Structure 1
Amino acid sequence: MDNMFCFQCEQTACGSGCTKVGACGKQPDVANKQDKLTCKLIELAYASEGKNRDKAADEVMMEGLFSTITNVNFDGSRIDEIINAVEVQSEKFKSDSKFHFDVLWDGDADIISLRSTLLFGIRGMAAYAYHAYKLGKKDEEVMDWFYKGMRAVGGTHSVEEWLNILMEFGGVNLKCMALLDEANTSAYGQPTPVKVTTNVEKGPFIVITGHDLYDLKMLLEQTEGKGINIYTHGEMLPAHGYPELKKYKHLKGNFGTAWQNQRKEFDNIPAPILFTTNCLVPPKENYSDRIFTTDVVAFPGLKHITADENGKKDFSEIINKALELGGYTEDKNFTGINGGSVLTTGFAHDAVLGVADKIVEVIKNGGIKHIFLVGGCDGAKPGRNYYTEFVKKAPKDSLILTLACGKYRFNDLDLGDIQGIPRIIDVGQCNDAYSAIQIALALANVFKCGVNDLPLTLVLSWYEQKAVCILLTLLSLGIKNIYVGPSIPAFFSSNVLNVLVDKFSIKPTTTVEDDLKAILK
């Protein structure tokens, strides 16, 4: 097919939907195969209802959903393989139902909007569940909800029923984020604050991007003692805070900034890059031979590293490539977008709650007047300098909590501290919204008030499906007055947006000056 339809990410064409080719680089045949895969997953959810599922069915459900997230899988042949695997699982249940679903984007605009919001949220949760599953953590309620949610996507509901389903999903996603937090901390220890350089030492090195800490751990193990340094990129930055990862002395620093800058930052570097999750920007031809993909990531022509039956991977090919390329002949100095060369991360909930008494004390003595959570996905469309300016103009008696790759807009700024508490507190990856939530709930408990009564404002940037599931979790917790930008998701119809504004006081961002004035009045 020559046409497609996709409006799941923030950079979608004309703010309404990509119909010729994805703004992400996704081709129409791939987009249509992803839609087919989604419909097959809905059919699997129906076929398995009331039946005993096995490990294979659960794995293909998670992988299939994860593969349809923006910037993950650009390879039609790989999607065909997953479709076939889904069909095999559906056939195993020998369902009497001949349920068939193929109307993702057809029907009433408001119903499409609500269906899409749920579907995109489920896709985001699948990524979190997948990472936890690789570390041996699985929650049956979360797993069951993938099937329940996909049946809901394929069903007919009133607007009120849709909203109830979305809120139920938000609560389940909180449990999924807690599961991944437990998986990461049990495997790698509790993160602690650490300063990370943006400079690169001379000699062979490998850049790893995405979110998968398990891949990083295996890479660190296999490169130890080989004279190869490892640098994180994008959402991998928080890895430096985990004790079981930062103990490797050749985990040296962070290269580059957020995902959308890859084509500029990876151009001509004398090192290979490992893509682990939803971070793949179609590479330029002149460096595509240095890109290696793994897990659900796929792009035609790129070298792919697979796992054995025990989940282990052989990174020898990328290691040899690093030695062959040799790295820089002398140390290189790089900076963030604001000119800073030191980034601080590792402030997960355990670290922040460990100094909660100090934060409470400083709030009570007037040193901290407001806390802003400024974070979320970064992206390529104009307007995202809003977040840089917001942080720069935030009052000096305010703290900035941040997470996900949106922090690269300002995380190299030196904003100083308030009575020993750093003003920028990086709590981690996008899934570490769980840490931010735990911090907010703990403060509310100390002050014996609701979260909405705290001097706390969430200012979120969205790009793809993980931002959707986090937003739904926040709404399910009753958190209101959340500022969302830099644009409103195209899949929110005007009526659905009005419902969110009326019911949850969602606030589209305007200007930094006007938003700060409204928040601090």
Structure 2
Amino acid sequence: MDEKMFCYQCQETAKGTGCTVVGVCGKKPDLAAMQDLLVYVTKGLSAIACRLREEGGTVSADIDRMVTTNLFTTITNANFDKDAIIRRITETQNAKRTLFARLQNTALLPDASTWDGGEETYAAKAASDEVGVLSAKDEDIRSLRELITYGLKGLAAYSKHANVLQQSDPEVDAFIQKALTKTLDDSLSVDELIALTMETGKYGVNGMAMLDKANTAAYGNPEITRVETGVRKNPGILISGHDLKDLEMLLQQTEGTGVDVYTHSEMLPAHYYPAFKKYSHFAGNYGNAWWQQKEEFESFNGPVLMTTNCIVPPKDSYRDRMWTTGAAGYPGCGHIEADENGHKDFSAIIEQAKKCPAPTQIEDGYIVGGFAHKQVEGLADMIADNVRSGAIKKFVVMAGCDGRMKSRDYYTEFAEKMPKGTIILTAGCAKYKYNKLQLGDILGIPRVLDAGQCNDSYSLALIALKLKDIFGVKDVNELPIVYNIAWYEQKAVIVLLALLYLGVKNIHLGPTLPAFLSPNVANVLVKNFGIAGIGTVENDMKIFFEDIEGTKKAFSEKIHVTKDMLVGDIVRQYPDVVPLLMSCGLHCIGCGSSTYETLEEAAAVHGMDADEIIELIDHEFGGEE
């Protein structure tokens, strides 16, 4: 097969346009090809399932679980095990054959449904024109199909977590399959795909509500909790990822063994759930966000259990101590499968831990979190009083993901420089950019309110809706809440679509806009929802806090654009001019060339006059040369 690839589903994709030689995440072209093929056959299985439902037939929960697990497996940094991916393709092909045989009408099914190749044909099929991102030739159709698919991957992850806690929503499963099927339909227009994108957001809300119900029914509502960041003297197991059921089983099996359990990265919020507090050996949180794991897994000394995505290819020094389970996988690492009842035997990990030294301490102190929607509702009157008195002037939603790019230091600096009357609402590993800063409190309310994991962004939506009721406003956008969200992978995509469905506007997304947004699709989001990128901390302070004393004057300064400025710098510094630039036909604002092309060069490429564009900016915004 051709040892090339194309993937642009994560924020760190090469050159801001797409990984074509090897994935920035570490996946090789042959693995990328098999992941593409797994998505392809999963779409084919979904189309058969949809046809069967149309005929009045039933689709089993096993098929629903196969679809969501397949999608989850292809999320960024989840599974690097090519053999495991191939096994999933084969299982899906077998399921397709069984379901296909039940159909009364097999006409006009897509190739993804009718293709019946065996393992010896996988490489050739993956390299064909029908498979992969670039199978859609029209840039806007491709962009929308991928936007929908990535949102569905995030939704599938949340559904999978709920399923292991005995919660499911057949309507969510049916929608995932319907939407996957529609991404194969060449007859759908751009407008129809935009509508499907918004519908994906609707079901994203439903999926996150289902997971919230699953987690709280099983483990109680998160409560304000102080989590230690130091270490104890016992050997330990470090658990990372997102799956709370895996943590529960691990805590049960390690009880009384002399082995402590620590959380890492997105598993930190597990400490906020009352049900886990009964385990005295649940020691604390070790380390930071996922991308620092090479150093932190090495210094931990004991075994590490990866329950979901966020795997960084391990160093040889600890590869034999890293284990995976569920949708996660990495070649050379032990993998724990569930039995037919969902039980997992972690005895091999526990025995390995007993032979390891205690973790090396890398920090000391504590983190405070547990501000999910029920806990914040309990503080609602106190918060409302502080808003009315002017003590709290604005909330800033800084949820999402952390990552390796140096530009993400923006979020730390932003948190440090926020006006004193502001509070951060966060969820996801983006919090590691600022949750260990000493930002203080406002009359007893911490200035960083951590709702939990990325899927707990649902809590942030409920908090906003609760404040909407308290203050009696008709539109959530009338609240003193602004959105400065970092993204990295596909679960952040479904959170974004869910927020858009709920009517939230003027979200700033960084550190870069997604590479999979074509200029025209980006323009739709800009015009209809006010989506914008981030700029410098100083300029964004003016944008977000213009109505807070001390920032209004700075915000009123004129926009100053020159033709020798880079297009990317213009977009970051002056996001308000983006709709005007796009209306002029300058559609390169979201592509990789914006990082090195000046306004004059970009205008020339599109046959436009840079001076005329600047005149329009001056007229619209009162800028000056």
Please say whether Structure 1 and Structure 2 have the same fold, judged by a TM-score greater than 0.5: yes
Please tell me whether the aligned partners of residues 268 and 287 of structure 1 are also in contact (alpha carbons under 8 angstroms): no
Identity %: 47
Whichever residue aligns with residue 334 of structure 1, its letter is E
Q: How does 1:340-419 map to 2 (within 5 A)?
A: 341-419=365-443
Deviates more, 1:215-224 or 1:413-422: 413-422
Structure 1 residue aligned with 2:214? 183
Whichever residue aligns with residue 229 of structure 2, its letter is T
TM-fit CA distance, 1:268: 4.1
Please state if 1:59 is matched with 2:65: yes
Distance 2:239 2:246 in 1: 9
Please state if 1:517 is matched with 2:542: yes
* Superposed CA offset, 1:90-128 (max 9, x none): 111224245214243231111111110000000010000
Q: Which runs of 5+ in 1 are unaligned?
A: 336-340
Whichever residue aligns with residue 75 of structure 1, its letter is D
- Flag as ranges the 4+ runs of structure 1 deviating above 6 A: none
Please state if 1:437 is matched with 2:449: no
Whichever residue aligns with residue 164 of structure 2, its letter is K
Distance 2:363 2:155 in 1: 34
Structure 2 residue corresponding to 1:105, chosen from 102, 109, 134: 134
TM-fit CA distance, 1:89: 1.5
Distance 1:116 1:382 in 2: 27
Please state if 1:92 is matched with 2:92: no
TM-fit CA distance, 1:477: 1.1
Distance 2:386 2:424 in 1: 15
Whichever residue aligns with residue 88 of structure 2, its letter is I
Q: How does 1:73-92 map to 2 (within 5 A)?
A: 73-92=79-98
Distance 1:123 1:205 in 2: 32
Please state if 1:140 is matched with 2:165: no
Structure 2 residue aligned with 1:474? 499
Distance 1:506 1:435 in 2: 21
* Superposed CA offset, 1:35-83 (max 9, x none): 1111101111111224211122111101111011000111111111111
* Aligned alpha-carbon RMSD (Å): 1.1
TM-fit CA distance, 1:192: 0.3
Q: How does 1:224-373 map to 2 (within 5 A)?
A: 224-328=255-359, 332=361, 334=363, 341-373=365-397
Please state if 1:34 is matched with 2:35: yes
Structure 2 residue aligned with 1:338? none
* Superposed CA offset, 1:121-151 (max 9, x none): 0001000000000000000110111111101
Cα 1:342–1:268 change in 2 (3 A) is closer
* Superposed CA offset, 1:367-404 (max 9, x none): 10000011211111220011101111111111111110
Q: Which runs of 5+ in 2 are unaligned?
A: 53-57, 113-129, 547-625
* Superposed CA offset, 1:224-268 (max 9, x none): 111111110000000001010122111111001000111121124
Please tell me whether the aligned partners of residues 110 and 184 of structure 2 are also in contact (alpha carbons under 8 angstroms): no
* Superposed CA offset, 1:424-465 (max 9, x none): 100000000110000000101111111100010011001000
Structure 2 residue aligned with 1:497? 522
* Superposed CA offset, 1:134-175 (max 9, x none): 000000110111111101111132221111111111011100
SS at match of 1:105: helix
Q: How does 1:416-431 map to 2 (within 5 A)?
A: 416-431=440-455
* Superposed CA offset, 1:156-207 (max 9, x none): 3222111111111101110000000000000000110111111011121110
TM-fit CA distance, 1:493: 1.0
Distance 2:71 2:534 in 1: 30
Whichever residue aligns with residue 36 of structure 2, its letter is D
Normalising by structure 1, what TM-score? Answer: 0.97
Please state if 1:459 is matched with 2:470: no
Structure 2 residue aligned with 1:129? 159
Structure 2 residue aligned with 1:18? 19
Please state if 1:213 is matched with 2:244: yes
TM-fit CA distance, 1:359: 0.4
- Structure scoring higher RCO (CA < 8 A, sep ≥ 6) equals 1
Whichever residue aligns with residue 483 of structure 1, its letter is H
Instruction: Count how many residue pairs are aligned between Structure 1 and Structure 2.
Output: 514
Please tell me whether the aligned partners of residues 202 and 332 of structure 1 are also in contact (alpha carbons under 8 angstroms): no
Distance 1:147 1:276 in 2: 25
Whichever residue aligns with residue 448 of structure 1, its letter is G
Distance 1:326 1:265 in 2: 14
Deviates more, 1:101-110 or 1:150-159: 101-110
Distance 2:326 2:317 in 1: 24
Greater Rg, structure 1 or structure 2?
Answer: 2
Please tell me whether the aligned partners of residues 237 and 345 of structure 1 are also in contact (alpha carbons under 8 angstroms): no
TM-fit CA distance, 1:333: 5.1
Normalising by structure 2, what TM-score? Answer: 0.81
Please tell me whether the aligned partners of residues 129 and 138 of structure 1 are also in contact (alpha carbons under 8 angstroms): yes
Distance 1:509 1:246 in 2: 39
SS at match of 2:468: helix
Whichever residue aligns with residue 100 of structure 1, its letter is D
SS at match of 1:489: coil
Distance 2:526 2:276 in 1: 42
SS at match of 1:285: coil
